[in-house]
Amino acid sequence: MKEYKAVIYQEGMLGSLLLGESKINPVRFSAFLNANAKDGWEVVTMEKDIRRMLLFFKREGYVVIMQRERG
């Protein structure tokens, strides 16, 4: 039997406030995925998510759905 978890991964707000938009850092995102993989989680799907914050700023993120064998 499998178990699932949904995670919203996004960068901090500082890039959005300074640059008007915050993009995902691929090195940190890879570290996040690898840390979950060590715990047995596999990415099933992910979707890009752009969120507004403080009216004028955008913040990029990903909704990540993961699964692993329940044990």
For the chain, domain boundaries? 2-69
pLDDT of residue 57: 67
Q: Which residues pair with 57 in a beta bridge?
A: 53
| Alpha helices, DSSP H, located in the chain | 14-19, 26-38
Contact (Cβ atoms closer than 8 angstroms) between residue 3 and residue 68: yes
pLDDT of residue 59: 73
Across all residues in the chain, what is the average pLDDT? 83
Q: Is 39 helix (H, G, I), strand (E, B) or coil?
A: coil
The torsion defined by the Cα of 29, 33, 36 and 37, in degrees rounded to 10, comes to: -160
**15 pLDDT tier (thresholds 50, 70, 90):** very low
